[in-house]
Amino acid sequence: MTSGSWLRLRATVAERGFDLDLALEAGERLAVLGPNGAGKSTLLGLLAGTVRPDSGRAELGGRVLFDLPARTWQPPHSRGIALLAQDPLLFPHLSVLENVAFGPRVNGLGRAAARARAEHWLSEVDATNLAGRRATELSGGQAQRVAIARALATEPELLLLDEPLAALDVSVAPAIRRLLARVLAGRTTLIVTHDLLDALVLADRALVLDAGSAVEDGPTEQVLQRPRTRFAARLAELNLIRGVAVADGVQAGPDLVLQGMAAEPLTTGEPAVAAFAPSAVSVYLDPPHGSPRNLVAVTVSEVEQRGGIVRVRADDHRGHKLAADVTPRAAAELDLYPGREVVFSLKATAVALYPA
Amino acid sequence: MKYLSLRLLAGAAALGLALTGCAGGTPATTAPQQPTQAPETSQPAAEATTLTVFAAASLTKTFTELGQTFEAEHAGVKVSFNFAGSSDLVAQIQQGAPADVFASADEKNMAKATDEQLVAGEPVIFATNVLSIAVPPDNPAKVAGLADLARDDVQLVICAPEVPCGAATVKVAEAAGLTLKPVSEEAKVTDVLAKVESGDADAGLVYATDVAGAEGKVLGIDFPESAGAVNKYPIGALAGSGNADLAAEFVALVTGATGQQVLADAGFGKP
Amino acid sequence: MTRTESTLPRWVFVMAAVGAGFVLLPLAAMTTRVDWLRFGELITSESSVAAFWLSLKTSGASTLACLILGVPMALVLARTRFPGQGVVRALVLLPLVLPPVVGGIALLYTFGRRGLLGATLEVMGLQIAFSTVAVVIAQTFVALPFLVVSLEGSLRTLGQRYEVVAATLGARPTTILGRVTLPLVLPGLLSGTVLSFARSLGEFGATLTFAGSLQGVTRTLPLEIYLQREVDADAAVALSLVLVAIALAVIGLATRRAQVIR
């Protein structure tokens, strides 16, 4: 394998239907998205050294992590890859400072030097004041700060983050996210997340996994603004309708052509998608006349209060699951309930068309 | 179990002890004493009389055989045995356990029973037992007599001096002027025998009956000095027995020709 | 701290009290039979003191042996998967349910003078039968499963997550074991150690069958009690009480330590 990439991984795990080829540049931060069972944990395990693939090869910074079945296999401790999990997993029998100094110590640093390194990283995560505490005495947010310091104190060549904010209280998560954004800058990182914001704030690039393979890969903004898979669309909270590019839009069924703005050049006859935000949808009981709008007849499946708006979920008869946001007042006037037949109407200017 | 429940009763009320003590001789069965020559056809097993014999554990084999002989000679009579250490048996009898006959492995424990007038009449010595040297069949240490047991290269196992067979061992060794250096002093003679059988011990001092009972798994070496410590087995019908006649007949069987033959076959000496 | 009112039905308490009584009553009954006037004299007799020290020494040694052998066994059972693991676990735990005398017979055929290993050792000039080493072997054999079971349970409860984190921080397997895994299962390790010690202290059947009984060499407290019972029941009861007291002290000490660590 010849590659100029910092990280290059190609691996198959037959038991889990996993087959992936992945490259990461030095300093690049990759968000890995995907439904449960898509292979995100397997990917982390392969890199951390806790999952052994049937075959494959991985290199990090010019070192071979594994090359199987040729029997090259670096154990986790000699990979230079640190892992930060959802749960901070601070060693409960050690103090905060001892936790952070653990990595430097086991990597051969002297007591004083390891302590200095630990103090430096504690200050980097604004946790100097916690140094003397026992790991069990910390709140969730404090513990995660310390866990970040502990992971970084080993100066890893690759940092793996496994849903680092998922277990935190919503009031704490933003501060930790900001902290991560700061300390991860320029650091080669792989972040597994379910959260759109994490992906946008912490990653330059997004990879969507499904059933063990990559289905989308590109700059985070693009993957999330122009989703091509249902999973990415749901994450980005966009309606997605797949079809074929035609002269005046995207043909999604014999009697459904969505008109919109071509966000990227389209080739007639090629697969294409139409994406639009739920807020761009208007809901009518009867099709309005004489309007240059896209109209989709649907059956309401769910009506859900979301703060100041009401999200109306509905099915058309072609297998598309669509959502519309309306005001509570409109929802009341329309008397929306599951099973009610309505029409979703959307302006062409609010529909983005691009190749699938 | 029977004994346990009696003990619980005794613990519950002080009076209970005396009561069960009085009732101690009554066997579990409620059947009235029957003439032994009653026709077999008229009374089925339901009204059988049970004769309860408390006997030292070393008598298990011989007495079981004699019990069968006794049952064959006395229709409608069932002989029930309780085999245990003599000291345990006498303690049970003292606490009112229902027994008709007591056969002890030593005179000391029988004396405990006679001292409390628990025995009807004078106990009779019906057998004796002497020590014998048991060695593995191949006799690896080439033991030929008592003096060999004092050799340094002989791994000797004996009974602890605190127990009867150990006391006999001490007596015999002292009489012979020998200093024994055993590798183990066991609390039970069967443990001595087991260690010789397994070959871990080169020799052990056990009773002649133990050698006979081991059926070839050990070789017995008799030695003249054993006459200095003869263990005597007394038997007696108990005063509290509700089957005094049957109890006396059982004692007669044991002391008679049939009993003596069975005991001799098992390695016991004559009284 | 507020305590939630329990929702247990009342009969559960009754049965629990009966259960506690079932355990405590025999111990109490034993104390009523102690001849207190002679108690001091009985437990300080030469043979009693010899048995007492021998018991402490051999139990200490067998506990150490349990740690040396049992910790690796528990680690392998808890942290790896291999074919036949279930069978191996069952066999390792066998002494737990085996009558001790059966264990003694098995050891006899292994380490006895004519046993599988004993015969070879004998040629090399080593004799295990009738030695203090035999007592330690018998105690280790019956006590080992207690340590393995206790520690394996703790290891499984702990899970491997901390170990994975330590590895990604660069810790080598031996470092992880010493600085993460064992410190985190310390309560389980401690209770396993105490159980092993207590089991060793009470070991009787295997020792009697396999090691023999000689004052100061192989006659531990339980064997001394067994012998005294034949002669002087009062001495047996007094010594039994000593054994109960030691066991209580050890267990009490260990549970307190375990709580401190938790």
CB neighbour list of residue A212: distance below 8 Å, 6 or more residues apart = A13, A16, A17, A18, A19, A20, A38, A39, A42
Residues of chain C positioned with their CB less than 8 A from the CB of B199: 112-114
- The span from the first CA to the last CA of chain B, in angstroms, equals 35
**Which residues neighbour C219 within 8 Å (Cβ) at sequence distance 6 or greater?**
B185, C47, C50, C51, C54, C213, C227
Given an 8 Å threshold on Cβ–Cβ distance, is C208 in contact with B191? yes
Contact across the interface for C223 and B160, Cβ inside 8 Å:
no
Tell me the chain C residues in contact with residue B196 when contact means C-beta distances shorter than 8 Å: none
Q: Please answer yes or no on whether A102 and C166 come within 8 Å at the CB atom.
A: yes
Give how far the C-alpha of residue A251 lies from the chain's centroid of Cα atoms, to the nearest Å.
30
Q: What is the pLDDT of residue A290?
A: 67
- Domain ranges in chain A with CATH number 2.40.50.100: 237-355
- B:C CB pairs within 8 Å: 58
ipTM of model: 0.79
- For residue B142, give the CATH number of its domain: 3.40.190.10
Task: Please tell me the predicted confidence (pLDDT) of residue B8.
Answer: 40
CB contact under 8 A, B183 and C113: no
Cα dist. C179→A91, A92, A105, C182 in Å?
Answer: 10, 12, 11, 7
Cross-chain Cβ contact A102/C161 below 8 Å: no
Contacts of B30 (CB under 8 A, 6+ apart): none
Confidence of residue B45 (pLDDT cuts 50, 70, 90): very low
Contact B200 C218 (CB under 8 A): no
> CB pairs below 8 Å between A and C: how many?
65
Q: Which residue has the tokens 């004796």?
A: B128
Q: CA of A150 to nearest chain C CA: how many angstroms apart?
A: 8
Identify the residue among B158, B170, B185 best suited for mutation to test binding to C, counting C beta carbons within 10 A and taking the highest. B185
Which of A137-141, C118-122, C213-217 shows the lowest per-residue confidence on average (mean pLDDT)?
Answer: C118-122
Q: Which amino acid is at B221?
A: I
Looking at the structure, tell me whether residues B135 and B224 fall in a common domain: yes
For residue B36, pLDDT beyond 90: no
Q: What is the pLDDT of residue B22?
A: 38
Q: How far apart are CA B242 and CA B219, in angstroms?
A: 44
- Tell whether the model's pLDDT for residue C184 goes beyond 90: yes
User: How many Cβ atoms are within 10 Å of B264's Cβ, its own excluded?
Assistant: 14
pLDDT tens digits, A214-271: 888 989 888 888 888 888 888 888 888 888 888 888 888 888 888 888 888 888 888 9
Q: What residues does each domain of chain C span?
A: 40-261
pLDDT band for B47, please (50, 70, 90 cuts).
low
Closest CA to B135 of B59, B217, B54, B70: B217
pLDDT score recorded for residue C210: 86
Q: Determine, for residues A150 and C173 on separate chains, whether the beta-carbon distance falls below 8 Å.
A: no
Cα-based torsion angle of the residue sequence A48, A49, A54, A60 in order, rounded to the nearest 10 degrees: 60
| B near A: at least 3 beta-carbon pairs less than 8 Å apart | no
**CA-based nearest residue in chain C for residue B200:** C113
**Do β-strands A256-258 and A249-253 pair in parallel, antiparallel, or remain unpaired?**
antiparallel
Could you tell me the pLDDT band of residue C257, with boundaries at 50, 70 and 90? low
Interface touch C162/A107, C-beta < 8 Å: no
Question: What residues of C are in contact with residue B198 (Cβ under 8 Å)?
Answer: 108, 112, 114
CB–CB contact C213 B200 (8 Å): no
Q: How far apart are CA C166 and CA C163, in angstroms?
A: 5
Q: How many CB atoms lie within 10 A of CB C230?
A: 19
Q: How confident is the model at residue C258 (pLDDT cuts 50, 70, 90)?
A: low
Q: Span C124-139, mean pLDDT? A: 90
Q: Which CATH architecture has domain A237-355?
A: Beta Barrel (2.40)
**Is B241 inside a domain boundary?**
yes
Contact B199 C113 (CB under 8 A): yes
CA C192 to chain A, closest CA, distance in angstroms equals: 20
Which CATH class name applies to C40-261?
Answer: mainly alpha
User: From CA A346, how far away is CA A249, in angstroms rounded?
Assistant: 14
Shortest CA gap A169–chain C (Å):
22
Residues of A in contact with C165 (CB under 8 A): 83, 85, 89
Q: Which range of residues forms the domain containing residue B155? A: 131-228
Across the interface, whether the CB atoms of C165 and A83 are under 8 A apart is answered yes
What CA–CA distances, in Å, run from C142 to A283, C66, C195? 77, 10, 11
Establish whether chain C is in contact with chain A, requiring a minimum of 3 CB pairs below 8 angstroms: yes
Please tell me the distance in Å from C174's CA to the nearest CA on chain A.
11
Q: Rg for chain B (alpha carbons), in Å?
A: 21
Q: Which residue of C has its CA nearest to A101?
A: C169
Interchain proximity C169–A91, CB inside 8 Å? no
Nearest to B187 among C209, C218, C230 (CB): C230
Domain count across chain B: 2
* pLDDT tens digit sequence for A54-63: 999 999 988 9
What would the two tokens of residue A61 be? Answer: 């910074």
Based on the fold, state whether residues B173 and B138 are members of the same structural domain. Answer: yes
The average pLDDT across A87-106 equals 95
Which residues have C-beta within 8 Å of that of residue B181, sequence separation ≥ 6? B150, B152, B156
What are C's interface residues with B at a Cβ cutoff of 8 A? 108, 112-114, 129-130, 208-209, 211-215, 218-219, 223, 226-228, 230-232
Q: Do C112 and B87 touch (CB under 8 A)?
A: no
Q: Residue C116, SS3?
A: coil
B171 in the same domain as B115: no
Chains in contact with A, where contact requires at least 3 CB pairs less than 8 Å apart? C
Chain C CB contacts of A49 below 8 Å: 167-168
pTM: 0.75
Sequence letter at residue B255: T
Q: Are B143 and B154 spatial neighbours (Cβ–Cβ below 8 Å)?
A: yes
Same domain, B142 and B217: yes
Say which amino acid occupies A111. R
CB within 8 Å: C164 and A48: yes
Rounded to the nearest angstrom, the gap between the alpha carbon of residue A187 and the centroid of all alpha carbons in its chain is 18
Looking at residue B7, what is its pLDDT?
A: 42
| CATH architecture classification, A7-228 | 3-Layer(aba) Sandwich (3.40)
Q: Locate tokens 């005001």: which residue?
A: A327
How confident is the model at residue A69, as a pLDDT? 82
B39 or B218, greater pLDDT: B218
pLDDT of residue C63: 96
Distance of residue C181 Cα from the nearest chain A Cα, in angstroms: 10
Q: Do B200 and C108 touch (CB under 8 A)?
A: yes
In a domain, B167, yes or no: yes
pLDDT above 90 for C176: yes
The answer on pLDDT for C98 being more than 70 is yes
pLDDT at A277 over 70: yes
Residues of C in CB contact (< 8 Å) with A are 161-162, 164-173, 175-176, 179-180, 183-184, 186
Is residue B11 scored above 60 in pLDDT? no
**Residue A184 — pLDDT band, cuts 50, 70, 90?**
very high
Q: Which of B225, B214, B113 is nearest to B178 (CA)?
A: B225
- Binning pLDDT at 50, 70 and 90, where does residue A291 land? low
8 Å CB contact of B157 and C212: yes
Q: Are residues B222 and B252 in the same domain?
A: no
Beta strand B203-207 with B156-159: parallel, antiparallel or unpaired?
parallel
